[in-house]
C-alpha cells in the first residue's frame, strides 16, 4: 500500500473585507481577533485528508505568521492533520510572495521527507496565486495549478485534472510534486468532538528564521522586491440625477450632459 507524506501550506487571513493596514509599513495588521484560515486552504486540507484515507501516510501543515496562528493550526489538527509547524519571527513581517515562498522552502527542506505539497489556489488577502508555483520552483519540483480532481497516485506519479479557460487538462506529475487546488475539488469536512479534544493538547512547534537557516536578506521587507507604497479606501460616493420629461426629452437632456462632459 502506498503511504504518502503530504505537506499542506496554510495561511491565516482577515475574515472581513475591511483590512487594516499599518500606516508606516503599508502591510496588513494581522494581530486581530477576527482572523480565519484562508478559505481556499480548507480545500487543500480536505484533499490531503482524503488522500491519507485512501493511500495512508502522514499530513503536516505549515504556516507562517504571528504566534496566535498556532490556534488555527490546532483547529486543523482537529480535522485529522497529524502535525503542524508554525514559522514565526518578527523578521518574517512584511514578506511578499517571493519572501514567503523562500521561508516555506527553507522550512520544507528542514522537514525533508515529503511526496506531495498541496496549497489553496490563492489567499483571499492578496489574490496573487503566486506562492504555490514560486515555492515549487524554489524546491525544483514539478507543479500544476487549479487542480479540480485527483484521479490517482501510483508508480511514483500523480495524475490530476486542472481547470483551463475552456474545459480542463489532464496532467501527470512525477513525485515529489506540488499542486494548488480550487474549491470544485471537494467539500471540506467539519471537526468531530474527538478531533476537537485532540486539538486541545496538540503541540505546535514554532520555528524562527535561525531554525530554518533563512538569510535575513531574503525574508521580511528586506527580502521583498514588491512593496506597497500607498493604500487608500476607494470612494464609492455616486451622485444620481433623474431626467424628467418624455423619452425624447430625456434622451436630448442626456445627450447634452454627455456633450458637456466631453463623452
Question: How confident is the model over 86-145, as pLDDT tens digits?
Answer: 999 999 998 999 999 999 999 999 998 899 999 999 998 888 999 999 999 999 999 999
C-alpha cell at 64: 507562517
Output the domain CATH number for residue 124.
Answer: 3.40.50.620
- pLDDT value of residue 27: 58
Could you tell me if residue 256 is inside a domain?
no
C-alpha pair distances (Å), 70 with each of 1, 10, 19, 229: 33, 12, 21, 30
pLDDT bucket at 158, cuts 50 / 70 / 90: very high
- pLDDT value of residue 24: 63
Could you tell me if residue 239 is inside a domain?
no
CA gap 191, 54 in Å, rounded: 19
Could you tell me if residue 247 is inside a domain?
no
- Find the farthest-apart pair of alpha carbons in the chain and give their distance in angstroms, rounded: 78
26-69, pLDDT tens digit by residue? 555 655 557 899 999 999 999 999 999 999 999 999 999 999 99
Could you tell me if residue 257 is inside a domain?
no
Number of structural domains found in the chain: 1
- pLDDT value of residue 25: 60
Could you tell me if residue 233 is inside a domain?
no
Q: Is the pLDDT of residue 204 over 80?
A: yes
- Domain residue limits at 16: 4-218
Which candidate, 118, 85, 45, 82, places its Cα nearest to that of 195? 82
Amino acid at each position: 500500500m502506498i503511504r504518502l507524506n503530504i505537506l499542506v501550506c496554510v495561511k491565516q487571513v482577515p475574515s472581513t473585507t475591511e483590512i487594516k493596514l499599518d500606516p508606516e509599513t503599508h502591510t496588513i495588521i494581522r494581530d486581530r481577533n477576527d482572523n480565519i484560515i484562508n478559505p481556499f486552504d480548507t480545500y487543500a486540507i480536505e484533499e490531503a485528508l482524503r488522500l491519507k484515507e485512501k493511500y495512508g501516510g502522514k499530513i503536516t501543515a505549515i504556516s507562517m505568521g504571528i504566534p496566535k496562528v498556532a490556534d488555527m493550526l490546532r483547529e486543523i489538527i482537529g480535522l485529522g492533520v497529524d502535525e503542524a509547524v508554525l514559522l514565526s519571527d518578527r523578521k518574517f513581517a512584511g514578506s511578499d510572495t517571493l519572501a514567503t515562498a523562500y521561508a516555506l522552502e527553507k522550512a520544507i527542506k528542514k522537514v525533508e521527507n515529503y511526496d506531495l505539497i498541496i496549497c489553496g489556489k490563492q489567499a483571499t488577502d492578496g489574490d496573487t496565486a503566486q506562492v504555490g508555483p514560486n515555492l515549487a520552483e524554489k524546491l525544483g519540483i514539478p507543479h500544476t495549478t487549479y487542480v479540480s480532481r485527483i484521479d490517482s497516485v501510483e508508480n511514483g506519479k500523480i495524475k490530476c485534472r486542472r481547470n483551463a479557460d475552456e474545459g480542463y487538462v489532464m496532467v501527470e506529475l512525477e513525485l515529489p510534486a506540488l499542486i494548488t487546488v480550487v474549491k470544485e475539488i471537494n467539500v471540506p469536512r467539519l471537526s468531530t468532538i474527538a478531533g476537537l479534544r485532540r486539538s486541545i493538547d496538540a503541540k505546535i512547534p514554532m520555528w524562527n528564521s535561525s531554525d530554518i537557516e533563512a538569510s535575513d536578506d531574503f525574508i521580511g521587507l528586506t527580502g521583498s522586491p514588491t512593496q506597497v507604497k500607498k493604500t487608500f479606501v476607494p470612494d464609492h460616493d455616486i451622485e444620481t440625477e433623474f431626467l424628467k420629461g418624455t423619452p425624447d426629452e430625456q434622451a436630448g437632456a442626456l445627450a447634452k450632459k454627455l456633450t458637456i462632459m466631453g463623452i
